[in-house]
Amino acid sequence: MLNNIKTQVAIQSVLIIGLLIYIGWQEFAGSQRENVKLGNVGEDEPSVTTAPKNLEGTPEVIMTPAGYKAFTVPIPQQVNFVGETISLQEPDLRERLDREIHVNANWHSNTILMIKRAQRWLPTIEKILEENDVPTDFKYLPIIESGLVEHARSPKDAVGFWQLLKGTAKDFGLEVNKEVDERYDPVKSTEAACKYLKKAHAKFGNWVNVAASYNIGMRGFERRLEEQKINSYFDMLLNEETARYFFRLVAMKMIMENPEAYGFYIDPQERYYQPEFKVVTVTETIDDLVEFAHTHGVSYKILKRYNPWLRKPELTVKRNTYQILISQDPTEQYNPTVQVSD
């Protein structure tokens, strides 16, 4: 009898505690909903906003009591790459683009930086592609390769915007040694990449295949075509990285061409721009690039910022001549009279 009473008391106590917790939670949730409604989500929390409704294809914004925003992006029935219309009726293809769109549209910090850097470099890259008769959609390829980071280096020692291996770079005319590595030169590496892309197009006859081959290499791509007795990237069974590669390229193209439709609102003044440059042609060996930089009114840091292909503090000139960019931005000029206090 006593045991039954103790059991009943214990059950009632649990129920009362549970009821109190529930009531407390309801009061807390109600206050949070009121805060969200009023935009009072704390000093460190953004106020709740909704995406403009007048943009075609604007993502659906989902609100939660805590003010968290997530969205889904409508996936089109077809996409365009270098003038070719690509149907996404096949579920596999549609889901591969779906993945890349949502990864990049929701990886906010990374995609914001891509958009900011694009303003600095894409006009130059696009001009070089046009001059070499390569479709300008390939300007998005260095974005997915390196994030437009000049010093990018992969675990396999592919470097620069276009992530060129040493042997490939030399095959396409770049100088690579201890003092000079033109894979880090955005202009010269783009010119070398154009040679690769045109050679791949002559082999595969299709720009989609060319784009995919950039990830796996011409020989590797050709071998898989032969092994699987097909002629299209879209019919190929591939490793995950290469399977995702082309659709990552298309997703980045879609976001870069219309960032507002994917929730990215970046003021033009917040984007990165190139300064004006003075071009210095170097025909003789420079023993000290630090002094060279100071002579031309910039610090060694600024000299290397715009000439990342200079790998040592000296430059030996034998047969080649070199062009060094000197920033003319007043805020980047070197002032030797300013001393750092002890």
CATH code for the domain in which residue 176 is found: 1.10.530.10
The angle formed by the CA atoms of residues 186, 328 and 109, to the nearest 5 degrees, is 50
Q: Give 55 or 136, the one with higher predicted confidence.
A: 136
Is the CB of residue 86 less than 8 Å from the CB of residue 79?
yes
- C-alpha separations of 186 from 48, 112, 146, 152, 162 in Å: 40, 21, 11, 12, 8
**Same domain assignment for residues 169 and 304:** no
Of 106, 104, 94, which Cα lies nearest the Cα of 68?
106
**Same domain assignment for residues 88 and 218:** yes
**Same domain assignment for residues 118 and 143:** yes
**Same domain assignment for residues 265 and 191:** yes
**Same domain assignment for residues 240 and 307:** no
- Structural domain contains residue 288: yes
Q: How far apart are CA 162 and CA 293, in angstroms?
A: 27
Whether pTM > 0.75 for this model: the answer is yes
Q: How far apart are CA 202 and CA 210, in angstroms?
A: 9
Domain's final residue, options 71, 95, 114? 71
pLDDT of residue 41: 31
pLDDT of residue 70: 73
Is the CB of residue 305 less than 8 Å from the CB of residue 325?
no
- Structural domain contains residue 337: no
Q: Is the pLDDT of residue 188 over 80?
A: yes
Question: Bridge-partner residues for 333, per DSSP?
Answer: 298
Is the CB of residue 203 less than 8 Å from the CB of residue 218?
yes
Is the CB of residue 139 less than 8 Å from the CB of residue 126?
yes
**Same domain assignment for residues 249 and 283:** no
Of 194, 117, 108, which Cα lies nearest the Cα of 152?
117
**Same domain assignment for residues 120 and 187:** yes
Domain of 290, in residue numbers: 277-332
Of 261, 329, 275, 270, which Cα lies nearest the Cα of 116?
270
**Same domain assignment for residues 29 and 88:** no
- Structural domain contains residue 30: yes
Q: Is the pLDDT of residue 46 over 50?
A: no
Looking only at the bridges linking them, the beta strands covering 277-282 and 84-87 are unpaired
**Same domain assignment for residues 301 and 251:** no
| Tens-place pLDDT, residues 54-100 | 444 455 555 556 666 677 888 999 999 998 999 999 999 999 999 99
Is the CB of residue 266 less than 8 Å from the CB of residue 112?
yes
Q: What is the mean pLDDT of the chain?
A: 85
- Structural domain contains residue 179: yes
**Same domain assignment for residues 173 and 236:** yes
Band of residue 1 on the pLDDT scale cut at 50, 70, 90:
very low
pLDDT of residue 17: 64
- Structural domain contains residue 188: yes
- Count up the domains in the chain and report the number: 3
Widest Cα–Cα separation across the chain: 105
Domain's final residue, options 228, 252, 270? 270
Domain's final residue, options 19, 54, 71? 71
pLDDT of residue 31: 45
Provide mean pLDDT across the span 184-189: 96
- Structural domain contains residue 236: yes
- Structural domain contains residue 121: yes
- C-alpha separations of 218 from 176, 232, 278 in Å: 22, 14, 38
The values of phi and psi at residue 215, to 5°, are -80, -40
**Same domain assignment for residues 212 and 164:** yes
Most confident of 10-19, 66-75, 99-108: 99-108
pLDDT of residue 281: 97
Band of residue 319 on the pLDDT scale cut at 50, 70, 90:
confident
**Same domain assignment for residues 237 and 317:** no
